[in-house]
Structure 1
């Protein structure tokens, strides 16, 4: 990447255009930042390297956790930011940045109500299944339960709010002044032309580094051979900018893993496991407590013979999965094998019948004795799998990284040398250090999306203030009031 020096800024000449706030990236973080900056009255330009606003968000189930919302209260669910923060801290082993954890937990509920009340997004509370690590039902999802709907709704809202977009363009240069503030960015347009854009503040929302195989091998070698199921544009631009700027980086070993269908790379919803499903390897043996979390399960699966395993479940445990479009795609793909007996199931997935029978017998014995099984997992009698059985062959996958630029509770970028904030550079989402800590085991479901939305909102508002705009006060949104 080109020089970021003061001299380069002085030699760049007058910019071709200008925006109060320039945002790099049009995923959930960038779009939420655009909405917040526009709410403050700032002019916004979102620079996106793709031909459309998509990002990693569109590849998720769109499950956005939020604490203390009216959606929860309507269903009698008592939740608080403190409770959410405690769940995040527990899952991360108390290794996530405490200031950012508190900011994200406090901002989660208000962000959902702000998106609903001010910008017209529609959410429903997912209260039929409780994902590992969450002590309350707090997933807020679009009506379709897809990230594609959430992404499109954010884009439509940002356009309606007056944000401008520059597609097929990639920021290649940051021009700093003598005060270490970014005053302009250089962009390479889709036709190869270069353009300098002046700005009052910059938001980095470029995603993580999952699409950069060398960076993955360096920072999370356990996933070097995993299938990558995130956005190809997540190549680590934020890390590169951070290195050039002298910014602090943190938790680069953190990531979200998942288990995907071997043939199609479609993710298999974890509701199947929550409802009693188990995983066995090619030897017909279980290898972990599947309820520890789907992120760390990906690496455990990769360590199995051949790097594959099978999720086993039944007709009862499938009932909730059928509500998800992704699972219906898995069914349509022909990846689900069915069997009317354990013998037939062992034959269908080509594992030793004796080993598989021993797995089922051990689980049933743990239920009879009212104790956890050998892996520390508790099953209820209802969760014991019964014929007809289902099986899907899986491999471990990397969805997105969770480490990146260190930011404060305002989403301001921090210097490595002294921990102080840069005057007008902000970051969120995959570009920033999240709240999962340094390992996959710290990932609490929804951490990626909640940090994209909440840090995006904080970054947009902070960037607008850095550019000379104060957030308007006639509307604060839901429980912000």
Structure 2
């Protein structure tokens, strides 16, 4: 969390001899870098101001999977999908709460982004063999490494090669606006702590959310105030602070990405594919407590409600093989997260529960019919059993500045600021206003799709 407040400075002009860029982007995460690539395609100079010494953000901590429909790659593989179906899936997972204009904008914009990034030399593949909760088609685009860090490195290389400029170790503290509410520049703290300034004609807030700000989490997400934060420390809520100071409209502040599979104490995300393909979550009493296929975001709340705020992911050999195809899980296993039991009695001893209770729980997770939560199983789990201890974590917030379909920040009366844009973690996403609305990949959908749209909007403002 930052130890300095985000500020609004009112002035007619920036200090003398302030350098100027047509477009300035706050944050060099997936959103900011995607927007920069789009701006450079339009021949527009842009400067990214990044707080870290190496751009990373929440994307680098994720698996780096970008959902997109009707891409060149998806079509080439014969996958039947459409923007309409994708948008329907997003809306269904969000229980109809997601902003329809952003769902349409992002599900279409992310396709353009993926296809353009391919032309820049980024090689994607589509995850095969399983579907994440809420998705009706194989549409997760990933790099071969299957890590967010690899995606970030590829985006940074592409933006740099396209001619975008980046200043790292630069924490934006001030937004400068004139009396007409037009952004004229920003003030940022360099590595030595001294303030520096840059003027601009368009400003894009592509910074993160507020998950790393305990005060805002306690205020806006009280059910997660004591949860482990598994996101990036740059999620300090600056965009919220600037929005409040500007009396901009905020939206979906109750939406967030939780994760019910945060490996403890090792501290890593375990892929939810194991749950989708037949794994179960068992509490300290030896019982299941929800339908794991509903999604890993809402699972965070369910896990935190269990005794001790923990659960065990229980699975078998075929699912272990699947888990080992994900680098994050491999790292967690190397750190000692995996436990193996030859039979139910040994698994019960490991968990600390009664063997007969656990046996009844596993017997109920069978292919015949559906369980108490309506889940259908393809097959029973078979010994030997594997288990990983997990807790619920807050990973990324999904609410923020309200924006229109062009990613322009809106005032309280719905009118857009003329040259202030927001996307990614700084803006409202497409997950609605609660944890269960988050569908796998929504964060990168907003970051990459939103970054692409915001870049196009900035280019249009500057050319007009």
Q: Which residue number in structure 2 is paired with residue 170 of structure 1? A: 171
Q: Is the 8 A contact 1:410 1:462 kept in 2?
A: yes
Residue in structure 1 matching 2:452, options 444, 452, 457: 457
Q: Which residue number in structure 1 is paired with residue 148 of structure 2? A: 147
Q: Which residue number in structure 1 is paired with residue 409 of structure 2? A: 413
Q: Which residue number in structure 2 is paired with residue 425 of structure 1? A: 420
Larger displacement relative to structure 2 (267-276 or 441-450):
267-276
Q: Which residue number in structure 1 is paired with residue 352 of structure 2? A: 350
How far does residue 5 in structure 1 lie from its aligned partner after superposition? Answer: 5.4
Residue in structure 2 matching 1:438, options 433, 437, 443: 433
Q: CA-to-partner distance for each residue in 1:15-59, whole Å, 9 max, x for gaps?
A: 421101000001000111111111111111101111111111111
Q: Which residue number in structure 1 is paired with residue 210 of structure 2? A: 209
Residue in structure 2 matching 1:89, options 69, 88, 91: 91
Q: Is the 8 A contact 1:209 1:401 kept in 2?
A: yes
TM alignment of 1:265-344, pairs within 5 A: 265-344=267-346
C-alpha separation between the residues in 2 aligned to 1:5 and 1:304?
47
Q: Which residue number in structure 2 is paired with residue 4 of structure 1? A: 8
How far does residue 3 in structure 1 lie from its aligned partner after superposition? Answer: 6.1
Q: Which secondary structure does the structure 1 equivalent of 2:8 belong to? A: coil
How far does residue 467 in structure 1 lie from its aligned partner after superposition? Answer: 2.5
C-alpha separation between the residues in 2 aligned to 1:257 and 1:73?
32
Residue in structure 1 matching 2:395, options 395, 399, 407: 399
Q: Is the 8 A contact 1:182 1:201 kept in 2?
A: yes
How far does residue 327 in structure 1 lie from its aligned partner after superposition? Answer: 1.1
- Give the length in aligned residue pairs: 459
Q: CA-to-partner distance for each residue in 1:316-355, whole Å, 9 max, x for gaps?
A: 1122211111111121111111011111111122111111
Q: Which secondary structure does the structure 2 equivalent of 1:323 belong to? A: coil
C-alpha separation between the residues in 2 aligned to 1:256 and 1:226?
12
Q: Which secondary structure does the structure 1 equivalent of 2:175 belong to? A: strand
C-alpha RMSD of matched pairs (Å): 1.3
Q: Is the 8 A contact 2:7 2:242 kept in 1?
A: no
How far does residue 187 in structure 1 lie from its aligned partner after superposition? Answer: 1.5
TM alignment of 1:235-254, pairs within 5 A: 235-254=236-255
Q: Is the 8 A contact 1:15 1:197 kept in 2?
A: no
Q: Is the 8 A contact 2:67 2:441 kept in 1?
A: yes
Q: Is the 8 A contact 1:425 1:463 kept in 2?
A: no
Q: Is the 8 A contact 1:15 1:198 kept in 2?
A: no
Structure 1 residues 267, 377: closer, same or farther in 2, change over 3 A? same
Q: Which residue number in structure 2 is paired with residue 47 of structure 1? A: 49
Q: Which residue number in structure 2 is paired with residue 376 of structure 1? A: 374
Q: Which secondary structure does the structure 1 equivalent of 2:35 belong to? A: helix
Structure 1 residues 410, 359: closer, same or farther in 2, change over 3 A? same
C-alpha separation between the residues in 2 aligned to 1:2 and 1:308?
36
C-alpha separation between the residues in 1 aligned to 2:305 and 2:360?
22
How far does residue 179 in structure 1 lie from its aligned partner after superposition? Answer: 2.6
How far does residue 232 in structure 1 lie from its aligned partner after superposition? Answer: 0.3
C-alpha separation between the residues in 1 aligned to 2:302 and 2:110?
31
C-alpha separation between the residues in 1 aligned to 2:209 and 2:344?
43
Q: Which residue number in structure 2 is paired with residue 386 of structure 1? A: 382
The TM-score normalised by the length of structure 2 is 0.97
Q: Is the 8 A contact 2:6 2:238 kept in 1?
A: no
Q: Is the 8 A contact 2:9 2:174 kept in 1?
A: no
Q: Which residue number in structure 1 is paired with residue 134 of structure 2? A: 133
Which runs of 5 or more residues in structure 1 are unaligned? 470-481
C-alpha separation between the residues in 2 aligned to 1:22 and 1:110?
22
TM alignment of 1:35-114, pairs within 5 A: 35-114=37-116
TM alignment of 1:9-20, pairs within 5 A: 9-10=12-13, 12-20=14-22
C-alpha separation between the residues in 2 aligned to 1:331 and 1:28?
28
C-alpha separation between the residues in 2 aligned to 1:284 and 1:200?
59
C-alpha separation between the residues in 1 aligned to 2:66 and 2:195?
37
Which runs of 5 or more residues in structure 2 are unaligned? none
C-alpha separation between the residues in 1 aligned to 2:175 and 2:318?
55
How far does residue 466 in structure 1 lie from its aligned partner after superposition? Answer: 2.0
How far does residue 63 in structure 1 lie from its aligned partner after superposition? Answer: 0.5
Q: Which residue number in structure 1 is paired with residue 122 of structure 2? A: 121
Q: Which residue number in structure 2 is paired with residue 222 of structure 1? A: 223
The TM-score normalised by the length of structure 1 is 0.93
Q: CA-to-partner distance for each residue in 1:123-172, whole Å, 9 max, x for gaps?
A: 00112111110010100000100110100000011111111111111122
Structure 1 residues 348, 163: closer, same or farther in 2, change over 3 A? same
Larger displacement relative to structure 2 (170-179 or 445-454):
170-179
How far does residue 70 in structure 1 lie from its aligned partner after superposition? Answer: 2.3
